[in-house]
Amino acid sequence: MKHRGNGPWSWATLFGAGRKARVPTASLRVEVKETLKRKRSVRFYIKLIMALLLLGGSCASIYYSLHWLSDKMCYENPKYVLEEIRVEVVGRIRKDQVLKWASVPKGINLMKVDLLAVQKRIQDQPCVEGVVVRRELPNRLSIEVKERVPLARVVTDKDSKEPSPGIFTVDREGMIMRPRSGEKVSHLPEIRGAPWEMIVPGNKVASDANEIFSALNLLSQIEMSPVKVEFSLLSVDVSKENVLRLATRGGGYICFSGDSTRHKEQMDRLRQIYFQAGRLKKDVMTVDLTVARNVPVTFVPDPS
């Protein structure tokens, strides 16, 4: 065989030529593999989307089926038609007043009653300390109400420039209330010297009114103490900073610290003072418990 060309025969020429001839075949194989890979990916995602759609449809079907079933079994069930509202009150609030606040019509489906909304409507009343509302299947609603107990009264001058002059009561939590019609509050001790801007009916006393809360704490302790029977409390003056002056019947007074953490200790000392006065057959006139030692005490003068 004779070589026809520009140069001599060589192994590199022969093998090089062979490699160049095989390059198009390798490229074709790669393209085919990429095409098959893309088709498989497309088929996978199509199947995934169809599975998700099927799952979503199944979930929606289950949800609406359960919703329909709950409507039929609960919200449209004639067994759950409200027939009775049971009201229990700890206090003197009338039951018909509680029903008016609750605003729950008879004949409504018991499962449709919004218990939290009913509870809030009753709890928003200033004279209510606590309320519990619950369903009693199949057809009864139970409402339990606890009334706030007035601890003292606050009197504003009718000639003052205050928007709501008159008599109000306050409980141990500082809630200001208007006395209900016919309610007697004259037996309650009076809190004097309180800033009138803090006396807003239907609201609690501001948290920074330290003297008022200190006075309420002291009155609570007096209510639970046996020393209560030793004197007749008329009023508590909170006008002076860090001093609570209790006026007693007969022109006497007892001074306590405005620091409520000292009240227990001072009540113990006051009980000892009344005990010693009883042994001496004396009637206490004034006591100043703000003094740490050698508490000043005066007695009612003998008639002679």
Strand 167-170 and strand 152-155: pairing?
antiparallel
Query: Can you tell me the distance from the alpha carbon of 213 to that of 207, in angstroms, rounded to the nearest whole number?
Result: 8
Residue 44 is predicted with a pLDDT of: 84
Residue 156 is predicted with a pLDDT of: 65
Strand 243-248 and strand 252-257: pairing?
antiparallel
Longest dimension (CA), the chain: 165
Residue 54's SS3 state is helix
To which residue do tokens 């095989």 refer? 22
Q: Please, what is the Cα angle at 89 between 88 and 94, to 5 degrees?
A: 105
Query: Can you tell me the distance from the alpha carbon of 276 to that of 131, in angstroms, rounded to the nearest whole number?
Result: 46
Q: How many other C-beta atoms can be found within 10 angstroms of the C-beta atom of residue 234?
A: 16
Average pLDDT across each block of 10 residues of the chain; the chain has 304 residues. List them in order: 51 49 62 78 84 84 69 74 94 94 92 94 95 94 96 70 68 92 88 85 87 94 90 93 93 95 94 94 95 92 78
Query: Can you tell me the distance from the alpha carbon of 181 to that of 238, in angstroms, rounded to the nearest whole number?
Result: 28
Residue 76 is predicted with a pLDDT of: 74
pTM here is 0.68
Alpha helix locations (H) across 170-253?
210-224
Contacts of 1 (CB under 8 A, 6+ apart): none
Backbone phi and psi for residue 246, each to the nearest 5 degrees, phi listed first: -95, 120
Chain-centre distance for alpha carbon 65: 37
Q: Closest Cα to residue 188, out of 211, 204, 205, 168?
A: 168
Query: Can you tell me the distance from the alpha carbon of 162 to that of 197, in angstroms, rounded to the nearest whole number?
Result: 8
Query: Can you tell me the distance from the alpha carbon of 31 to that of 35, in angstroms, rounded to the nearest whole number?
Result: 6
At residue 258, what is the residue type?
Answer: G
Query: Can you tell me the distance from the alpha carbon of 159 to that of 162, in angstroms, rounded to the nearest whole number?
Result: 8
Asked if residue 214 lies in contact with residue 260, where contact means CB atoms within 8 angstroms, the answer is yes
